[in-house]
Structure 1
């Protein structure tokens, strides 16, 4: 196979990867925009630079930029012109929309992405490669700033980001790919190409899975320090309230009971955790702290009562202490209810301490948002 045919084949594969990445990005932005559209022009209290609706439009624009790079990588003048015309019209329309709603920071990002495309086209031979690199890396920062409904918004860019970066690497290394073993100097390249294609797909899948599963526990390390201040206090819940400078009232947290069927389910789960012969044993701490409600990565409307419940200790009474990274001390008790949590993401930390002073921690992360979000 001649060298120019090798480069053309690498360009087509890169274009296909970029096409899939662009479609995935547009899908993410469109789905997010369905829920966030009412926020256009009025950023929320925990949005970073612009409203969430503006973030959805920007994700779509970045996906279109990736599609334009795919058209550049594929040797088709008609496809390149069509992608350029469609992208230019959409960019202009979104820029005017942002200007009408005074989303100036989002409008500045539109101009920045257009400038990146213009600068890349000045180096015609490397334009597709440079745009793939920009889209793959910038997308992680953009989705983190745009999708504040999730604690790790950048994870939504895992598929598009990995595919864009794969397209960049393939274009960058294409002059050397066909010197690899099983391909160079071989009469039949199909087995080698198939093998390396499977390896590339495996690396892509592994990279996506790694990004999706990072980072680790939701609770911040600082919560352990703050909780230890309360956990070492041997007083009752009222003493803790006084130490925190809080006054119990109708607007503050108070222990609450779950519905009977929920309590029965929790009790049965605790009984199932016990092994035969465990009942009555001494010196054994309960099998770790566990938060039953709320579930991890849940969004609640502002003002709605949030039920907090922990798994019981099967063999001895334990002390339960709840803490929020945003609101601080929440209260004590196995069951708790709060209806005045602040807007934003809360790292909820539960510390369970037994009668001997041994303790364990559990974490969940929840969001409090405006009612239209939910």
Structure 2
């Protein structure tokens, strides 16, 4: 099978996930009330990992088909090494920013908020743990997860391109046993994103890329007559009501049957609880079915978000740096609603400008491509 074409909706939703992740990591940010985590069991992390798998299989699958699996493996491992170096550099920059900001903010302890006390109390061990991907302060969890998932991609890529359903079946078995295992982290802890659980979502993203390439233009029944689509809509509505009710604990306790609460709680993010996974899959299915790949992606705002999605890892790293800076700006500005909205929107603007610069630089250094206007 040959991999062709590019679905720009993928870029759009990756960019949107980056915005949501940035907003969600600014404490007390009013715009974080608009992100997907407030209306269901999953959040932007699921979007990011699923689409990372989708994009990785498309990109490296194309290389494997053109140049062979050895070349694809070398490129994957080289990419993982680059991300490892970026992770170490990014953590050093993040610590520098947080320590600097903490000296200028009197209303709260940013070091405590970012989970950097371990470095202050045991700097030598923290540096060792950083090299082993065991020291992960707040905001730093997704990148080590992606590095591990990328390192495992060469093991499954050949079969994903031929029989994706077999890989999904094995991945499901690993996912079901994941709560019994996890990678170790600093001070006897474990990874916040258990790679053995989250690999299933990454693999599902890759399998979805394969299915998307196989689809042909056929007449289908209206969505209102498709049982799977209707079931997904109902699940999203029910879980959305539950998630909204969390804002009012008394209302939630009154409406939530005891047996249902015992069945779904706790909703683990570390081990990607089944109800979280099912919520995201329902959301992805509904969006894929109901959001057309049409001219709406040519609207100026959509183009900016798509561009951020095309450079998702670079923009994510910038967001990690901007989040504590936005928090510092909010604290220095008195934590008013105006300053919180300004810092959140300004951060997204900086991320968009950075993505535009990356694209301009790429076109400038690629023969035959015109610089972006």
TM over 0.5: no
Pair member with larger Rg: 1
The answer to which structure, 1 or 2, has the higher relative contact order (CA under 8 A, 6+ apart) is: 2
Name the TM-score, length of structure 1 as normaliser: 0.30
> Where is the helix percentage greater, Structure 1 or Structure 2?
2
Name the TM-score, length of structure 2 as normaliser: 0.30
